[in-house]
Amino acid sequence: MATFLFGEIVFGPVKSRRLGVSLGINLLPGDRKWCSFNCIYCECGWTSQEQYNEKGFPSRQMVKEKLEEKLLIMSGMGEQPDSITFAGNGEPTLHPSFAGIIADTVMLRDRLAPDARIAVLSNATMLDDPSVFRALGMADQNILKIDSAREETVKLLNQPGDDFSLDQVVKNIMRFDGKFILQTLFVRGVYNGVELDNASEEELREWLLLVERLRPQMVMVYTIARDTPVRGLRKVPADELYCIAERVERLGIEVQVST
């Protein structure tokens, strides 16, 4: 099915289901997707199979200049974003200057858009890197993805690398001591002949135990909204998402639902 890539370093602002008026930042090359996951539902399509290298990554200086230029334009129009969001064509923390870019963004935000939140959408696979861990701690919304508490489901749904360990990811996230937002996408369908449903009762019981263990500031619950690279994936209905949210709220954790 049709998917898309972000060709610009700074894009939008766009109306985000979860983040309001969001000014997006893509730290990845504009002509391919670079990610440590290869999610079967990703709106950017499949992860590039080329050997990973830094070619095509925008420089730290270029990111700073483009963001400053956009914020000045918005300020001149009497506008400010609700959030400055690192997302784009894959995993933003793969950028070799990620920590420095976050520091630059904090400085520009404080000067030109003081009410904007800095948000990072990450799959948490780079938390072993101390500079990435510290940089994510500087974000107002450190949004980390776990789509299932079962490693076999994560491997089917997110298709991480061979060295992936869900247990290690969870241990790394726990180092934030709850100062993060947990993001989970619920979806149903068939992939490579295997039925998947991370909103089944069995999956939810284990996921809720993980949520209780991690105790994030908030949980973001959502489902697919755009075209996916795999045909036949189905949305989880809104009423089910709200039921999931109610179960999280009973744990004393705030929930945001996007349908």
pLDDT in tens, 145-154: 999 999 999 9
> Would 65 be classed as within a structural domain?
yes
pLDDT in tens, 103-122: 999 999 999 999 999 999 99
In this structure, is the dihedral angle defined by the CA atoms of residues 85, 17, 115 and 216, taken in order, positive or negative?
Answer: negative
What pLDDT, on a 0 to 100 scale, did the predictor assign at position 53?
65
> Would 191 be classed as within a structural domain?
yes
> Would 69 be classed as within a structural domain?
yes
pLDDT in tens, 135-144: 999 999 999 9
CATH of the domain at 197: 3.20.20.70
Residue 3 has pLDDT above 90, yes or no: no
> Would 4 be classed as within a structural domain?
no
Residue 160's nearest CA partner among 91, 96, 232, 221 is: 91
pLDDT in tens, 233-245: 999 999 999 999 9
Residue 124 has pLDDT above 50, yes or no: yes
What pLDDT, on a 0 to 100 scale, did the predictor assign at position 1?
47
User: In which domain, by residue range, is 235 found?
Assistant: 10-258
> Would 5 be classed as within a structural domain?
no
Residue 252 to residues 129, 183, 191, 207: CA-CA distances in angstroms?
Answer: 31, 17, 35, 15
Question: Tokens standing for 134?
Answer: 């510290």
> Would 64 be classed as within a structural domain?
yes
> Would 226 be classed as within a structural domain?
yes
Of 37-41, 91-95, 154-158, 226-230, the one with minimum mean pLDDT is 226-230
Of the pLDDT bands very low, low, confident and very high (cuts 50, 70, 90), residue 30 is confident
> Would 3 be classed as within a structural domain?
no
What pLDDT, on a 0 to 100 scale, did the predictor assign at position 250?
98
In total, how many domains does the chain have?
Answer: 1
